[in-house]
Amino acid sequence: MREIKVYHLYPGHLNLYGDRGNMLALCRRAEWHGINLKIIPVEPGNKINFSDCDLLFMGGGQDSDQKLVAEDLKGRSRDMKKAVEEGMVVFAVCGSYQLLGHYYTTGQGVKINGLEVIDLYTKAGQGRLIGNAVIECSLWDPPHTLVGFENHAGKTFLGPDLQPLGQVLSGFGNNGIDKTEGAVYKNVIGTYLHGALLPKNPRLTDCLLQNALTYKNQDDTLQELDDSLEQQAHSAAIKLAGLHRSK
């Protein structure tokens, strides 16, 4: 049986707005696709062998949790960056997404150094960017919509060579200014979308699984599943965001 090793980074600290549901969606769809998903929870102080990881999942957290995580990972950023360059799959949400960049400046002016895995930086804004969000995601041709819920004070700005995960159709996205949301670099996907994101976006869930299989040179063929319930949830989220189309 095909197997994917998923490192769940700091599940006790990074679990805002239903992010744990992303792990449940990964597990269930992997099971339906005949893939054995081996979940390895990683807590602060635990050793991390990034060369043994196929898919790294990092959820959202408060500023205090983000600072703790940053300090714990500080000495391992080189190994993490090496694994990313080799194709390790990373899915990072909100605070963890911010952490992948150069730095995050809090509302109190405290600068938290990031892991510098991808080219972005974040600074706190005056108010929070909150609400249901819909983006047009260009991971596929033709593009498809992704739906989720965002709640962040940080405004993230991408470097010139970093591609966004998608363009905002409804909501705020990275910063409420340039209509971008999230970032993609090699097999790294960062996003502000919670909700949890993956249960309402099965195409993205399968993308992560497929990329992890490809990374470990396993058969990445996935069977077609009945996603009618997931699509109903997806369509309902689009309507909540004030839109009326779904792809």
Helix (H, G, I), strand (E, B) or coil at 78: helix
The one catalytic residue in 8, 33, 152, 194 is 194
- Residue 192 CA to residue 120 CA, distance in Å, equals 14
Mutual angle of helices 202-215 and 20-32, in 10-degree steps = 70
Our answer to whether residue 207 is catalytic in this structure is: no
CB 58 within 8 A of CB 91: yes
User: Can you tell me which residue has the tokens 């058969």?
Assistant: 219
Structure tokens at 108: 């109190």
- Give the C-alpha distances (Å, rounded to integers) separating 244 from 116, 165, 235: 38, 21, 8
- Return the residue matching tokens 């999230």: 182
For residue 93, which of 14, 185, 203, 10 has the smallest C-alpha distance? 14
Q: How far apart are CA 40 and CA 43, in angstroms?
A: 10
Chain mean position to CA 212: 14
> Cis bond leading into 142, ω under 30°?
yes
Give the distance from CA 17 to its chain's centroid.
Answer: 13
94 catalytic per annotation: yes
Catalytic one of 94, 152, 207, 234: 94
SS3 of residue 10 by DSSP: coil
Q: Which residues are catalytic?
A: 94, 194
